[in-house]
Amino acid sequence: MHSRRRLTEQRLDRVLNERIRPAVHARSVPLHVEIWDAPGEPVPVAEGLAAPYRPITVGHRWGPVWSTSWFRITARVPEAWAGERVEAVLDIGFDKTGPGFSAEGLVHRADGTVVKALNPRNAWVPVAEPAVGGEEFSYYIEAAANPVLCDDHRPTRLGDRPAWFDDLAPDPEPLYRVLRADLAVFDRQVWELVQDLDVLGGLMRALPDQEPRRWQLLTTIERALDAVDLQDIAGSAPAARALLRPALASPAAPSAHRLSAVGHAHIDTAWLWPLRETVRKVSRTVSNVTQLMDEHAEFTFVMSQAQQLAWLKEHRPEVYGRVREKVRTGQFLPVGSLWVEPDTNITGGEALARQLVHGKRFYLDEFGVETREMWLPDTFGYNAAMPQLMKLAGVRWFLTQKISWNTTNRFPHHTFWWEGVDGTRIFSHFPPVDTYNAELSGAEIAHAVANFQDKGAAESSLLPFGYGDGGGGPNREMLARAARLADLEGSAKVVIESPADFFARAQAEYPDAPVWVGELYLEFHRGTLTSQLRTKQGNRRAEHLLREAELWSATAAVHTGFAYPYEALDRLWKTVLLHQFHDILPGSSISWVHREAERTYAAVTAELRGIVDAAQRALAGDGDQTVVFNAAPYTRAGVPALGASLRTGAPGRPVVPTRHGDGFVLDNGLVRILIDRRGLVTSAHDIAAGREALAPGAAANLLQLHQDFPNEYDAWDIDEFYRNTVHDLLEAESVSAHDGGVRIVRAFGDSRVEQRVSLAEGSRRLDIDTEIDWHEKEKLLKVAFPLDVRADHSSAEIPFGHVQRPTHTNTSWDAARFEFCAHRFLHLGERGWGAAVVNDSTYGHEVTRDVRTDGGTTTTVRLSLLRAPRYPDPDADQGHHRLRYGLVVGADITDAVREGYVFNQPERAVPGSAEVAPLVTTDNPAVVVETLKLADDRSGDVVVRLYEAHGGRARAVLAAGFPLASAAVTDLLEREIEPAENADAVRRDGQQLHLTLRPFQILTLRLRPSTGG
């Protein structure tokens, strides 16, 4: 028998796409269509409904970039269609690209209530079932003319907010054209035939050639196609379906893999569209899925990111009401436990804790649901503190998919225990389907089964399905596939169920899953640690100001009765958490998003500074002396940690530079720094240790410029070949003594940099304050510190701790970490001596090592200061920047942790006369107070979050600076933890708590002040 495989497959494609699919809505009549183009930004629904519409026809061009047009469609149901299911079928320009990245629409009734959304793969609207002949109807469609920005990843100005929004002058270039507007009968038999052929055809193609089932399906499909009368699709559909029925009824093998299909719509909270458009994307998607739930009782859908539901509640309360209804029926499932799906490399530790607090609280308050999963399919790597934070928030399970994007090493597991830096383990799963926008196609099912790396030991995996980013989520075609694939020979068994059901079963069947220890490093998108510096600086500074605002407000509330600003802090935290979304904070969004973020951070900063100032003035009292406040968790210059004292002198003054040959020397008796005529640091001598920090003949604070043109994702990626070309910035326009330091000016390309290098009295930290007027394109600016240290590993700060990474490239895993994240410090050392580099807003770091001819080892630390990607924002990082970093000479890990805090938490001086005792003190520098605030329930209790910061066991005494009635250990949501879980961690003795912490343990304490005499 000769093979007919290719011929039949080609036949199936053409007949299905050109004849059978169009026959689903073959009986149709034109709709009457009218349009109103809204001026500028979107308008309220009531305004859109009442607008003056004008008639148009199919072919009409509409939609200047980012604009909104309202369509009104009306029709009368033909008498002959009585009793049928009637739908409106519309194509407002969906030929441009796939779902989520082009025109979208939200359909309203005349009273303003929502019907569903329109998307490229979901272009129908229910009108009546059963229809009444002669009945009239009208719908209103709010249509968004979002530009397609993802086709070729080339620079474009379409990501800017349009200038014409402000002057309301019309843009002359519409993006879209109305291609179809019909009232049609939905032919269910034809639609079911489409689904039968789609599933069996997909399964046939996915099966191996040697499988008999493949050839049986080929023959069955061929016979069914023979039965289809191309001139009478509707009339011949039942006969064709009858021929396919036996193939669909053949059950799966008992050993078939089980796929838990989870309805999902990953919606980037901002990316190739601004935040305001995400609000509308959420409304459209939720409208779609709740409408689908009405017709499919078996359908369940998960939604993460509490922020998106909060938007829905604020902007579309009627749609939010549908969510609440479907939560009660068990069809709509809140998951994720987070406010947004944040970047977890750059986001600070306390902010990650608040992501969990605000996310979980929203679900508890709004739906009575305690979420147990962390749902982060698309974030660009995961820090090693996450397992402990999850556990402390009551999260049991973790899901992501992004690690499948690794470019060098394949992650060895799909189901595993993830062990964090402190030893906490979380049961975790990576869906082997390798996408979070699956369509339940035959190819996807086959790939998930073949790709699953835990076969034999485990029998289940999870598959998120649905169109994301405004594409509308799952559609009825996906549900039809799931129904047919539930028990089908040759396929995995597909079961629609919740993530909780999947995880509970998966953990029960695979309790001894393998363990992965430490961070989940994504071997991709390394450039997100550096792109859009202003966004990253806004976040870093907002995080520290929030810490200060809570600290001083709580201190003032306890000591003076100051009114703690609960509402303002809640709102400001949520604003900062929103901007930690994994395409905002990483710098991978369009210009509109980042310019808006810069304005938002400026407003947040101003308001937080106002809160800090008000609390400090309440504490400082009257008087004209200077009260110095120290928010750092370490005493400095006589000012207690977390407290304030009167300043009598001026400690920490910068050393005056003196001439040294044709350069300068900075010497404070602890460290001697030599700066040559080029403005480069040629020596950093530890006087007490009698040791030079820099490698022989090398220069530090060396700015280096690289060509930076990655293969595909400009803002996201730094590809390793960037190292092949480097230009050292050696020449200086001027090097001079200036303002207590050495001032260096350099010019290169179209840019200019001015640095002030200084050393304070009593400090081992050399500070470099850098201002750059940056106008390069597709360049990467780094700064190098070549250290004379033989270090096998670096220690980089992460949230609530630090991680050690090899400095060598012994394995492909080590080599792939050529750019990694560090927060406030990076430490390198050998036994007895080390050095640290600290920063105020830099995250991308690199460490390389080389053995010199003298036998010594040069270990070079480089910080990535600026990039200049052109997509998706062609102006990324252009303009003026100020950033700071420093070299700490002769530093151990204790010094690195302290200097990281001190460098980022400046002293603040206000007039007054009062000393301010800290609310709490600790006697061990390894135990760091990260957060001090009042309890969210407004009880007046003081909440302290602290952690062990050095990586060893620690004992400490925490003393309360106020009369203490009681103390309890809580979870992140400030709920008391059962004593059995923390019996050895805390012991109270009057005003003191004796603490015992394991390495990097996080502890949250709730301290109740005494109220009576």
d(C-alpha 474, C-alpha 465), whole Å: 6
Sheet holding 992-997, edge to edge: 920-922, 954-960, 992-997, 986-989
19 DSSP 8-state letter: I
Burial of 922 (0-12, 13-18, 19+ CB in 10 A): buried
Q: Report DSSP state, residue 721.
A: G
| DSSP, res 81 | G
Rounded-to-integer distance, Cα 370 and Cα 57, Å: 51
H/E stretch holding 425 reads: strand 425-429
Q: Backbone phi, then psi, for 488, in 5-degree steps?
A: -130, 130
- Residues serving a catalytic function are 378
The 3-state DSSP class for residue 626 equals strand
Give the CA count within 13 Å in the CB-facing half-sphere of 307. Answer: 27
Of 750, 774, 780, 795, nearest in space to 900 by CA: 795
Element (H, E) at 30: strand 28-30
Q: Which two tokens stand for residue 712?
A: 């595909």
C-alpha closest to that of 843 among 812, 822, 817: 822
Separation between Cα atoms, residue 738 and residue 740, nearest integer Å: 6
Query: Is-contact 881 535, C-beta < 8 A?
Result: no
**887-888-892-895 Cα dihedral, nearest 10 degrees:** -120
Cα 417–chain centre separation: 22
Q: Nearest-CA neighbor of 527 among 964, 844, 989?
A: 844
Q: How far apart are CA 223 and CA 218, in angstroms?
A: 9
* Alpha carbons 367 and 306: distance in angstroms, whole number: 11
Chain length of the chain: 1013
Compute the C-alpha angle 308/574/345, nearest 5°. 90
Helices 566-578 & 591-620 angle (0-180, nearest 10):
150
